Every structure is written in structure tokens, then in C-alpha cells.
């Protein structure tokens, strides 16, 4: 990766339906922009189930991670996953969570964007905070604006409402950007601060 590329790492962000319905679009964009990250593509859409199914990874490893995060959360609060969900198998739980996630992401419009900048993938994840809002640090989007938790969400057989999606790694970022945007919809321009900030 040359120096120019380093400043142009790209990541994909979706403001989820709860973020849109709560009027947090401006607040989220503000936090991304104030960090010196650049929005290079932006659109509101009402996604279909098929689109969300293709947006999130389907591989075993991802499903296992979803299940594991859920089980760890149950353990932390002393809840019995088998009693609540009918299973304590990580894959079964992972698949269940992925299904709820598709319902959640299609329950209203989402704002999709591509964000570019130095370490954009990691930086945006830092701005966003941990998956479980109840554990997300104050000062992050999820920590400041949400309080949901897996134990509460799973009891109601729904996804955790955590306002925003951001690509978790380079592979996800590449897939999501090319899935949601055509090359003509992504714009290359210079922000005024670029010569001063980095």
C-alpha cells in the first residue's frame, strides 16, 4: 500500500432504521466528519431482505461469532440460553440472530455511505463502539445513544438495536462497498483540511 492509498482506506457505514427514525443521521455524519474522515458516497434506501442477506457475511466463522457473542452475554448476566432460546448451540444461535438482523435492517430506511481516510475501517469502528450498546464506551455513537442488550433483545426474539453498522475488516469493507455502490456513485474530491490535518 503506498502513502496515497493509506490516506484513502475505505469503509462502509449503514445508519440502521432506528438511527434514521430517531433523527440521528446528522449527529452520526458530524462525528465521522469531525474526525477528518471523508464521506465519498451517500444515499438513503429501504433495503430488501435479500439485499441485507447478501450484505452480511454467511460463512460459518461469522455465524459462530454471532452465536458466541450472544452466549457470552447470556453468561455474563447469568441467563440460561437453552431455556430462553431453546438451544445453546453457537451455530443455531448465530443463525437465529442473523435472521432477526435481517428483519431489523428492513424495518425502515437506512442511510448507506462510503467513508474514506487514514485507517478508516478501524477509526469508524472506534467512533461506533462495541456491538452491545450496554457495553459500549461513553463517547461512542452506540454508547451515547443506545442502551440495548442481547439478553433483552433475545427475550423478545429481535436484533439488538444499535443504530449503526460499520465494516468490521478489510474483507467486509471491500464486499460491502462494491455491493452497495457502483464506481460512478463514489466520488473522489479533496477536503479543505486535508493539507493541514495530514
Q: From the list 54, 131, 175, 186, which residue makes contact with ligand ADP (rule: CB under 6 A)?
A: 131
Cβ atoms of 150 and 132 within 8 Å: the answer is yes
Place of cell 432504521: 17
CA angle 16, 63, 123 (to 5 degrees): 50
Q: Which residue is nearest to Mg ion (CB)?
A: 168
Helix (H, G, I), strand (E, B) or coil at 60: helix
**Among 24-32, 68-76, 97-105, 164-172, the segment contacting Mg ion (CB under 5 A):** 164-172
Count residues near ligand ADP (CB under 6 A).
17
CA–CA separation, 14 and 8 (whole Å): 19
Q: From the list 150, 176, 177, 180, which residue makes contact with ligand ADP (rule: CB under 6 A)?
A: 150
Nearest to 165 by CA among 19, 45, 8: 19
Binding positions for Mg ion, rule: CB under 5 A:
168
Residues making contact with ligand ADP (CB under 6 A): 65-66, 69-70, 73, 97, 100-101, 131, 150, 153-154, 159-160, 162, 165, 168
Active site positions, annotated: 165
Amino acid at each position: 500500500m503506498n502513502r496515497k492509498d493509506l490516506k484513502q482506506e475505505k469503509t462502509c457505514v449503514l445508519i440502521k432504521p432506528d438511527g434514521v427514525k430517531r433523527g440521528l443521521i446528522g449527529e452520526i455524519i458530524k462525528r465521522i466528519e469531525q474526525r477528518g474522515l471523508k464521506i465519498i458516497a451517500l444515499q438513503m434506501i429501504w433495503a430488501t431482505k435479500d439485499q441485507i442477506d447478501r450484505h452480511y457475511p454467511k460463512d460459518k466463522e461469522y455465524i459462530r461469532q454471532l452465536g458466541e457473542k450472544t452466549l457470552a452475554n447470556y453468561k455474563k448476566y447469568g441467563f440460561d440460553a437453552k431455556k430462553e432460546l431453546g438451544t445453546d448451540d453457537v451455530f443455531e444461535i448465530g443463525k437465529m440472530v442473523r435472521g432477526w438482523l435481517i428483519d431489523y435492517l428492513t424495518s425502515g430506511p437506512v442511510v448507506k455511505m462510503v467513508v474514506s481516510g487514514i485507517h478508516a475501517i478501524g477509526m469508524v469502528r472506534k467512533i461506533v463502539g462495541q456491538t452491545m450498546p450496554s457495553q459500549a464506551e461513553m463517547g461512542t455513537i452506540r454508547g451515547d445513544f443506545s442502551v440495548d442488550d442481547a439478553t433483552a433483545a433475545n427475550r423478545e426474539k429481535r436484533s439488538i438495536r444499535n443504530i449503526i453498522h460499520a465494516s468490521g475488516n478489510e474483507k467486509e469493507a471491500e464486499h460491502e462497498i462494491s455491493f452497495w455502490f457502483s464506481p460512478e456513485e463514489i466520488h473522489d474530491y479533496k477536503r479543505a483540511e486535508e493539507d493541514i490535518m495530514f
